[in-house]
Amino acid sequence: MAETTHIVPEDADQTTVAAAVRAMFEGLSWSRARALVASGRVMVDGDVIFDPSARVSAGSEVRADQTGKRKSARSLPQDALIFVDHDLAVVIKPPGVETVPYDENKRDTTSLLAMTLQSLIDTQRRRGGTVQRGLGVVQRLDKETSGVLVFPRTHAARKALQGQFRRHAITRRYVALVRGIPTEQSIETQLVANRGDGRRGSWRGGGKPPPEARRAITHISVLEAFNDAALVECRLETGRQHQIRIHLSELGHPLFGDRIYRARNAPNAPAPSRRTMLHAASLGFTHPSDGRPMHFVAPTPPDMAQLLHSLRNGDQV
């Protein structure tokens, strides 16, 4: 059967879209199931889904068409593109989306990069004229992290922004929900790919850190304190991979929803959120062409706002 519909059962709650599709067709391989999703031939509750690793809830309707027309990458919601000119595209990244494709050798339809480019192409085609296709990468946010991010649209803009990142001239403000209430402080460590337990973390070996260690500085302040939890602000001087998550976890204040960087001896309780509660709230830099200061703010996403509401009400989470 080329097309079929499936209702996700209770025992498959939060399974991946690829797994749901594979269950719909007897003998379907994992690679074929993922390809069907990535090519836009799968809908969940009426919406086309391009990410094979996206989660579906029990009761959701999944429809797949093996012979359907291939669809291009989805566009971003119109309000996610908050600034566009010849040099830059500033976007608000939703949680659950990779900034860039995980596998660069495969056709990319699901990353923020692909969706932003598709949105720009769609807009330019509606307006007519030449379509400007270039889009570079100067920063990344983790898949589960939401918030504001800039893509350069020209080679010159990319080089200029890369220089600002190297000089630490970019201002980046994050907010996070954490366990416990940390003290206001600045953290400086040397991050390594393996801190001794197979995970990225701060060098604790004593003496001179290895050559691959990278200096990481995070400034932390508490915006709002609750009962054994806090909303914190993190300002970055450096932008190392997982820097905020590592620094807060090593302080004993892991982020809500973080399943990798947990404080030692932390209770193995169910996570109160399905993703890491980290949000890139604002971004500031100098425009690469005319030098004017640029500053952008991303509103608190709904899932974080809902968790904040529960904490303010004194709910147990």
pLDDT digits (tens, 9 = 90+) for 217-266: 999 999 999 999 999 999 999 989 999 999 999 999 999 999 888 755 45
- Which residues lie below 8 Å from residue 192, measured CB to CB, with a gap of 6+? 200, 201, 202, 203, 209, 210, 212, 213, 214
Residue 34: per-residue pLDDT: 87
Does 78-166 match 171-312 in CATH topology?
Answer: yes
Q: Where are the domains of the chain?
A: 3-65, 78-166, 171-312
pLDDT digits (tens, 9 = 90+) for 29-40: 998 998 888 788
The CATH number of 3-65 is which of 3.40.640.10, 3.10.290.10, 3.30.70.270, 3.30.450.20?
A: 3.10.290.10
Q: Which is more confident, 145 or 42?
A: 145
Q: 78-166 — its CATH code? A: 3.30.2350.10
Residue type, 138: V
CB 229 within 8 A of CB 314: no
Of 3-12, 116-125, 247-256, the range with the highest mean pLDDT is: 247-256
Residue 73: per-residue pLDDT: 64
Q: State the alpha helices, DSSP H only, in 251-312.
A: 302-312
Q: Length of the chain, please?
A: 317
Residue 83: per-residue pLDDT: 96
Question: Tokens in use for 23?
Answer: 């269950």
CB 55 within 8 A of CB 16: yes
pTM value?
Answer: 0.77
Cα 106-75-87 angle, rounded to 5 deg: 90
The three-state secondary structure class of 55 is: strand
Question: CATH topology for 171-312?
Answer: Pseudouridine synthase (3.30.2350)
Looking at the annotation, which residues are catalytic? 142
Q: Which of 281, 219, 282, 279 lies closest to 251, judged by CA?
A: 219
